[in-house]
Amino acid sequence: MIEHQNTLQNQTFHEFFDWWLGELKTNLEHLVSAANHHQNNFEDDSLLLPLIDKVVGHYEDYYKVKSNGAKGDVLSMFSPTWLTSLEDSLLWIAGWRPTTAIHLLYSKSGIQLEARLADLVPVLTDDLGDLSIHQINRIDELQRKTIHEERSISEKMALLQESAAYTPMVDLSNSMSENMRSENNNDDGERESYLKVESLLKSKKDELEEVLHMADGLRVKTLKGVVEILTPIQAVYFLIAAAELHLRIHDWGKRDDAT
C-alpha cells in the first residue's frame, strides 16, 4: 500500500478509488476462501488474525489517503465524482453512516441464524448467528455510543451549513451585489470584497475538513469496534458481508447511471 500511496501525487483520488475497489475484491476472495477452509478444517481461529488485520488496514488506508486529499481539495470529498448517484444518495458527511456497520452486523446475524433454523442445524457453527449474550450487550453499548457521536458530528455539520446565512456572508453578498448593480462599478471595492470572500471560504473549508475528519474517524472506530467484539471467524463473516455490500451497491449504482 505504501508503494502505491507514493504514486498518488500524480493521480486523482478517483484513480486511487478504482485501485482500492480492486483490492477490496481481492480481499473478499481471500476472506471467502478463509471462511470455507476454516469451516472444512476446523482450524484455530488465531490463524485468521493476519487476514483480518490486512482487511481492516485496507479500510484505514482509504481514510488516510482521503485525509491527504481533503487537505488539498476538501470540497471534492463532499461531491465525489468517483461514486455513483446511488452511492451519493446514501452518504452521511462524505461517507457511510457509522451505525450502518452495526445494522449490517445485526442483519447478517439474523440471516445466518434463520438459515440454520431452516436447516434444523442443532450445533453451533461459529458464524454471526452464534452471537453470545455478552457480545450482544457489547454491540448494543457500541451502538449507543456511536449514535451519540453521530449526533454530535451532525450538529456541527448543521451549524456549518447554517452559517452560510450568517451576517458576514449576507453582508458580503449584499455589498457585492450592490457594487455589480452600480453604474460606477468600483473595481477596487470588488477586489476587496473578493478577498474577504476568499478568507471566509477558507475558514469554511477548514471547518468542513475538521468535520470530515471527525466523521471518518468515527467510521474507522466503529468498524474496528465491531471486529474487536467478534471472534476471528465471526469477524471474517462480517468483513465478507461488508465488502459484498460495498461492491454490490457500487455495481448497482453504475448500472443505474448507465441507463
* Dist CA 73 CA 95 (whole Å): 16
* Cell of residue 217, nine digits: 474517524
Give tens-digit pLDDT for 135-161. 999 999 999 999 999 999 999 999 998
Label residue 233 left, alpha or beta by phi (over 0 means left) and psi (-120 to 50 means alpha).
alpha
Per-residue pLDDT at 169 exceeds 50: yes
pLDDT the model gives residue 183: 62
Helix ranges (DSSP H) in 126-186: 133-162, 167-181
Helix (H, G, I), strand (E, B) or coil at 32: helix
Cβ neighbors of 221 (< 8 A, separation 6 or more) are 98
* Dist CA 98 CA 113 (whole Å): 24
Residues 111-127 have a mean pLDDT of: 68
Cβ neighbors of 179 (< 8 A, separation 6 or more) are 185, 186, 189, 190, 193
pLDDT the model gives residue 184: 64
Q: Which has the minimum average pLDDT: 54-58, 115-119, 125-129, 171-175?
A: 115-119
Q: Cell 498518488 belongs to which residue?
A: 8
2: Cα separation from own chain's centroid: 21
* Dist CA 170 CA 39 (whole Å): 63
Nearest-CA neighbor of 247 among 29, 98, 70? 29
Q: Cell 455539520 belongs to which residue?
A: 157
Per-residue pLDDT at 197 exceeds 90: no
* Dist CA 68 CA 13 (whole Å): 10
The answer to whether the CB of 75 falls within 8 A of the CB of 205 is: yes
For residues 22 and 169, which has the higher predicted lDDT (pLDDT)?
22
Per-residue pLDDT at 181 exceeds 60: yes
Between the alpha carbon of residue 97 and those of residues 18, 43, 103, 200, the distances in Å are 21, 34, 10, 29
